[in-house]
Amino acid sequence: LAFTQFEACPGIVDLAWGHPPPSALPVDAWAESCTEALRAFGPRALTYGYANGPGPLVEWLCERLGRTDVRAPRPDEVFVTAGASHALELVCALLVRTGDTVLVDSPTYHLALRIIGDHTADLVPVPVDEDGIDPVGTERLIHHLRGEGRRIPLLYLVPTFNNPTGACLPPDRRGALVEVARRTGVTIVEDDTYRELAYDGTAPPSLYGIGDGYAVIRVGSFAKTVAPGLRLGWLNASAELVRRIAARGYIDSGGGVNHTTAATMAVFGSSGRYERHVTVIRALYRAHRDELVSVARREFGHSSCGVPGGGWFLWLRLPPGVDSTLLLPHAEANGVSYVPGARFYRSSGGNGRGYLRLSFSMCEPDLLAEGVRRLAAAVGSAPTGHFPKPGHVGTL
Ligand X SMILES: Cc1ncc(COP(=O)(O)O)c(C=O)c1O
Contact footprint for ligand X (CB under 6 A) = 18, 83-85, 109, 158, 163, 191, 193, 221, 223, 228, 233
218: part of which helix (H) or strand (E)? strand 216-221
Least distance to ligand X from the beta carbon of 117, Å?
Answer: 15
Least distance to ligand X from the beta carbon of 203, Å?
Answer: 13
Q: Long-range contacts: 120-123, Cβ < 8 Å, 24+?
A: 121/92, 121/96, 122/150, 123/346
> Closest CB to ligand X among 334 and 337?
337
Least distance to ligand X from the beta carbon of 161, Å?
Answer: 9
Beta-sheet pairing, 355-359 with 101-104 = unpaired
Radius of gyration of the chain (CA): 21
Least distance to ligand X from the beta carbon of 383, Å?
Answer: 32
> Closest CB to ligand X among 259 and 374?
259
> Closest CB to ligand X among 162 and 334?
162
The one-letter code for the residue type at 152 is I
> Closest CB to ligand X among 20 and 388?
20
Q: Is the dihedral of CA 30, 32, 35, 40 positive or negative?
A: negative
DSSP-assigned states of every residue in 284-325: HHHHHHHHHHHHHHHHH-GGG----SBSSEEEEEPSTT--HH
Pick from 203, 201, 256, 211: nearest CA to 90:
256
The one-letter code for the residue type at 274 is Y
| β-bridge partners, 132 | 129
> Closest CB to ligand X among 163 and 325?
163
Q: Long-range contacts: 138-141, Cβ < 8 Å, 24+?
A: 138/103, 138/177, 138/180, 139/180, 139/183, 139/184, 141/103
> Closest CB to ligand X among 37 and 223?
223
Least distance to ligand X from the beta carbon of 215, Å?
Answer: 20
Q: Which residue is nearest to ligand X (CB)?
A: 83
> Closest CB to ligand X among 33 and 160?
160
> 128 by DSSP, 3-state: which?
strand
The one-letter code for the residue type at 343 is R
Least distance to ligand X from the beta carbon of 191, Å?
Answer: 5
Least distance to ligand X from the beta carbon of 185, Å?
Answer: 24
